[in-house]
Chain A
Amino acid sequence: MKIELIKFGNILSSRPAGKDAYSGFSSEISKITKDEVVEVDFSNITSFAPSWGDEFLSPLLNRFNDRLILTNTENSSVTLTLELLEETNGYKFNRG
């Protein structure tokens, strides 16, 4: 499954918005089959904040571990937010 983050907006900010995004998407997440790769695509994102990212990406990583792959992460705010989440939560993302 490919999750295009731009469908949630170009500025992804705040914990409540990140939490809402994950909850709203949970029915799709439940359809993901065993062994299926989950790609999170950051194309065209303007701003990606640690608060939003923690609420959306951390539960995805907990659930899918190595099957979670992040792509098109070149945006400066995306790069820095992923680094901070890895540092504060002690995990590591797979970048495609």
Chain B
Amino acid sequence: MHKKELITIGNASEILGISIQTLRRWDESGRLTAHKTEGGQRRYVESEIQSLADGLIFELAHKWASKSTPPTLNSDVHCQDRSIFEGRLQRLNGAITRAGIEQNLTSLVITATGEIGNNSFDHNLGKWPDVPGVFFDYNIDDGIIVLADRGLGILATLHRVRPELEKHTDALRVAFTEIVTGRAPEKRGNGLKYIMKIAKMGMVGIKFQTGNALLEIDAGATDFKIIVANTFIKGTIAIIKFKTN
């Protein structure tokens, strides 16, 4: 929940994860204009900074997942192996609980996040094309969680058991809607179908891209859409949105 309060440049710097010097430059260039106190000190509207932070989280995740030469990530957001991811999942649980989010929603959000992150490790272990691990960051105040990986992507992993699949859009639809079991060389968690169920219950909204296929389902929607995106993600990127009040 946003507070309609003005915050200092130091606080804004902490929320955004960028330096005070950069914020001063953005103010001077007009990219992010600060309010000024009578004494000339910079102040920012907290809700605007939080919204900007959400955009920066996704922008960074997208850049990391899509660029041929990805930016180096801070260890706070880059989970290089599963144990680090699971440690951060516990931290997320603590943060959501402290924020007073209702227990049923907390359970489902944590489970959905765990399934997406663990899917990345399950399907890419020993096969990471370049950078191993998962991007994992969140903003509890605004109810968003962003995950991404530079793995093989859903089409390549599903192709082993469903060789008839040719398009990213078809693979994404299968992953979210069909039961894939049986003769698979590796067991399938069906975690994405679980997330689809949570979304249809009205608990979370989700955006999920792999290759050029982008799936969107709003919380409580009875149906979802898969479109061809303008950008290409070799692995996966996901945003989970949940209500914070």
Contacts and interface: CB of A to CB of B under 8 A. Distances in A.
Which applies to chain B's interface (DSSP): helix, strand, loop or mixed?
helix
Contacts of A15: 118, 122, 187, 189
Nearest to B179: A88
A17 B194 CA distance: 18
A47 B104 contact: no
A54 B110 contact: no
Interface string B230-244: 000000000000000
A50 B114 CA distance: 10
B42 interface: no
Q: Chain A contact residues (Cβ within 8 angstroms of B): what range?
A: 20 to 34
A75 to B, nearest CB: 5
Given A11-B86, A76-B104, A80-B198, A47 B118 contact: no
A81 B195 CA distance: 10
A89 B181 contact: yes
Contacts of A47: 93, 107, 110-111, 114
Interface in B150-204: 179, 181, 187, 189-191, 193-194, 197-198, 201
Contacts of A46: 93, 106-107, 110
Contacts, number: 90
B66 to A, nearest CB: 26
Interface residues of B, number: 29
Max count, chain A CB within 10 A of own CB: residue among B104, B105, B111, B118: B111
A46 B105 CA distance: 10
Interface of A: 10-11, 13-17, 46-51, 54-55, 75-78, 80-81, 83-84, 87-89
Interface of B: 82, 86, 89-90, 93, 103-108, 110-111, 114-115, 118, 121-122, 179, 181, 187, 189-191, 193-194, 197-198, 201
